[in-house]
Amino acid sequence: MKKYFDILRKHVLTGTSYMIPFIVAGGVLFSIAIMFNDSASVPTEGFLGDIATIGQVGLKLFVPILGGYIAFSIADRPGLAPGLIGAYLAQEVNAGFLGGILAGFIAGNVVKQLKKIQLPISLKSLGTIFLYPIGGTLITGLIIICFIGTPIALFIDHLTKWLSNLNQVDKIPLGAILGGMTAFDMGGPINKVATLFAQTKVGTFPYLMGGVGVAICTPSIGMGLATLLSPKKYSAEERQAGKGSLLMGCVGITEGAIPFATSDPIRVIPSICIGAIVGNISAFMMGVLNHAPWGGLIVLPIVEGKLAYLFSILLGSTITAIMVNLLKKKQIKEEIKEEEFEIEFDEL
């Protein structure tokens, strides 16, 4: 079982290593555009609008890159196109980065099985560049559209209706629900349901965005802070991603925590959820009102209860950082050395 999970982790880490530059470049550029926009929102015109567009492209590409290189790790070059296209389709059906990971594994294993089919010698040269990519893309795409897209759409619909009936629920359980949902998949379907619920009520119940605005940024800030507090527990790539994650969190981009969640979901996802829950409840209980449908420090000028808002962000982020660092027992350096030895041994 341990060997099986080590293999899975190796494939996910391969996808993550290729994904990080996209999410950092896109996230930082998008953050800069929002940060320098006067209205603390996404600019759509002028030079800042162009920067925001470039950043959004980077943020939209990272899920396909993640899925594509997971499939590449499993099935080599023939898996790349099915993985990229499958993960893109997963993103289009609002499956988020978790859907991208699933698409990568589906594509990689589909192509791996196709490669076992004995082809005539005359067709072998066509397998890598023609038959395997086309067959893998078709099968993976149909699985994503038919068996993943529809259930996710139904799930989102039911989740939205359920959440809409919680208006009168006490603030502590409501804050826990919204905080956990916002952090759980970092921009995925569950996150979108929670944030949209609060955003649509910003005019009538601004306290909802007061809490959700905190939960939006604590995953990214918390993981960035974690890399600063215990740098030896993170790879060089993750430490660099941590710097970008801090900036993304400050301007309300939850996706900054995704590189950490993909490489170590068992420790990272519970940590960011607990931090977001505590931060959200804290903001609710201290009466923070956020009149913007956004989160992070960028909306501070239009927040009522600024000190409480800042305290809640600091509290949630610190809890995330401390919790994830306590859970991370192994030094990344040692793990990398072991992987490098195995690669060199295989090559010999």
Any idea where the domains of the chain sit in the sequence? 1-165, 167-348
Q: Is the pLDDT of residue 344 over 60?
A: no
Q: How many CA atoms lie within 13 A of 271 on its CB side?
A: 29
- Residue 204's nearest CA partner among 142, 293, 264 is 293
For residues 166 and 98, which has the higher predicted lDDT (pLDDT)?
98
Q: What is the mean pLDDT of residues 98-110?
A: 94
Q: What is the pLDDT of residue 87?
A: 95
Q: How many CA atoms lie within 13 A of 106 on its CB side?
A: 26
Q: What is the pLDDT of residue 330?
A: 61
Lowest mean pLDDT among 6-10, 59-63, 161-165, 288-292: 161-165
Give the whole-angstrom CA distance, residue 9 versus residue 338.
14
Give the sign of the dihedral formed by CA 30, CA 202, CA 310, CA 317: negative
* pTM as predicted: 0.84
Give the whole-angstrom CA distance, residue 253 versus residue 191.
12
CA dihedral in degrees (117, 139, 82, 342; nearest 10)?
Answer: -50
Please, what is the average pLDDT of the chain? Answer: 88
Lowest mean pLDDT among 6-10, 134-138, 161-165, 231-235: 161-165
Q: What is the pLDDT of residue 117?
A: 85
SS3 for 250-284 is HCCCHHHHHHHHHHCHHHHHHHHHHHHHHHHHHHH
Q: What is the pLDDT of residue 346?
A: 44
Q: What is the mean pLDDT of residues 180-205?
A: 90
The radius of gyration of the chain from alpha carbons, rounded to an integer in Å, stands at 21
Q: What is the pLDDT of residues 248-280, one digit of tens each?
A: 999 999 999 999 999 899 999 999 999 999 999
Give the whole-angstrom CA distance, residue 239 versus residue 264.
14
Tokens at 77, concatenated: 């070059």
Q: What is the pLDDT of residues 312-337, one digit of tens each?
A: 999 999 999 999 999 987 654 444 44
Q: What is the pLDDT of residues 6-49, one digit of tens each?
A: 888 899 989 999 999 999 899 889 888 888 887 667 888 889 99
**Cβ atoms < 10 Å from Cβ of 227:** 23
Residue 35: burial class (beta carbons within 10 Å; 0-12, 13-18, 19+):
middle
Burial 261-277 (b: 16+ CB within 10 A, else e): bbbbeebbbbbbbbbbb
